[in-house]
């Protein structure tokens, strides 16, 4: 799976949009971009994933650049409960590689 690069930490004011960037410049055509987060002492929580098109669900939006070399996770109205480590994962689901490889992620702190 392609390697991803994320900033180690970010702050965001409560109520504002949190924009978390991820670089995946070596992504290949079959690879999806997945986002998970891990709140302290809990299991990872799935947020959203996409291949080429932008995606939106009840939790977040995912913006993928046209060349697919980077993406941004947007939490539209951050709350204190969104404080967590956010992981961007690029995953090829076509070749039997079932394991998820989590990098170091971005530690997002929501400031009251």
Q: How far is the CB of 58 from other proteins (least distance, A)?
A: 15
CA distance 42 to 80: 16
CA distance 82 to 32: 23
* 34 CB neighbour count, 10 Å cutoff: 20
Q: How far is the CB of 100 from other proteins (least distance, A)?
A: 6
Q: How far is the CB of 1 from other proteins (least distance, A)?
A: 12
- Between 25 and 94, name the residue whose CB sits nearer to other proteins: 94
CA distance 20 to 43: 20
CA distance 105 to 5: 8
- The β-bridge relationship of strands 9-13 and 106-111 is parallel
- Between 42 and 53, name the residue whose CB sits nearer to other proteins: 42
Residue numbers at the binding site for other proteins (CB under 8 A): 34, 36, 42-46, 49, 93-94, 96, 98-104
- Between 12 and 108, name the residue whose CB sits nearer to other proteins: 108
Q: How far is the CB of 6 from other proteins (least distance, A)?
A: 12
- Between 12 and 83, name the residue whose CB sits nearer to other proteins: 83
């Amino acid at each position: 799976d392609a390697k991803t690069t994320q900033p180690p930490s970010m702050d965001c004011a409560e109520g504002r949009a949190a924009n978390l960037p991820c670089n995946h410049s070596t992504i290949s055509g079959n690879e999806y971009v997945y986002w998970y987060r891990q709140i302290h002492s809990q299991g990872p929580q799935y947020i959203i994933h996409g291949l080429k098109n932008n995606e939106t669900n009840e939790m977040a939006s995912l913006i993928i650049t046209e060349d697919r070399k980077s993406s941004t996770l947007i939490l539209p109205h951050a709350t204190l409960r969104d404080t967590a480590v956010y992981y961007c994962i690029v995953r090829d689901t076509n070749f039997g590689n079932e394991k998820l490889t989590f990098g170091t992620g971005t530690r997002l702190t929501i400031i009251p």
